[in-house]
Amino acid sequence: MSKEKSYHIQTLNDLPGIARQFLEDFGHRKVFAFDAPMGSGKTTFILSLLNAMGIEDAEGSPTYSLVNVYESPMYGKVYHFDVYRLNSEEEAYDIGVEEMLYSDGICFIEWPEKIESLLPDNTIWSYIRRNDDDTRTLTVSA
């Protein structure tokens, strides 16, 4: 049985509360795929999640390093992937993505379609869409 939930983001000030609610709703899960067009707020929302997890030294998107690794006092190991620059799933294997996906850590993935066949079946898919009034809607399918 799948579960779908939507969050409406009117301003950046809404992000801390929505990040806390997202973690309350889905924080027991491990792998989160964030699907959204460039500039829709994937990184910004993930940084809000990391902050809500007690991670104060979160960096921006790992565009060049492909993955940033954090230690959350509440959730343990957290991986933030940005696989936009990968040209193949073989490259993902080479950097150990599969090992991280199937570890006990929590994984937040930007551009998940690049490695979709590597993702666990129970991956939580999150879609961020920009609305006409420049607000965002985050829809989560679990």
In CATH, what number is assigned to the domain containing residue 9?
Answer: 3.40.50.300
Mean pLDDT in residue range 98-124: 94
Name the pairing type of β-strands 76-82 and 67-72.
antiparallel
Is there a contact between 17 and 52 (Cβ–Cβ < 8 Å)?
no
Residue 55 DSSP symbol: -
Q: What is the dihedral of CA 37, 80, 44, 82, to 10 degrees?
A: -30
pLDDT tier at 113 (50, 70, 90 boundaries)? very high
Is there a contact between 115 and 88 (Cβ–Cβ < 8 Å)?
no
Computed over every residue of the chain, the mean pLDDT equals 92
Of the two residues 83 and 60, the one the predictor is more confident about is: 83
Residue 41 DSSP symbol: S
In terms of C-beta density within 10 A (0-12 exposed, 13-18 middle, 19 or more buried), how is residue 45 classed?
buried
Total domains, the chain:
1
How far apart (Å, rounded) are the C-alpha atoms in residues 49 and 80?
11
Q: Where in the sequence is the domain holding 109, given as residue range(s)?
A: 4-141
Structure-block tokens of residue 103: 């570890």
Is residue 69 predicted with pLDDT exceeding 70?
Answer: yes
Structure-block tokens of residue 47: 């940084």
Mean pLDDT in residue range 24-48: 93
Model confidence pLDDT, tens digit, residues 56-67? 888 877 766 789
Q: How many residues does the chain have?
A: 142
Backbone conformation region of residue 66, classed left if phi is above 0, alpha if psi is from -120 to 50, else beta = left
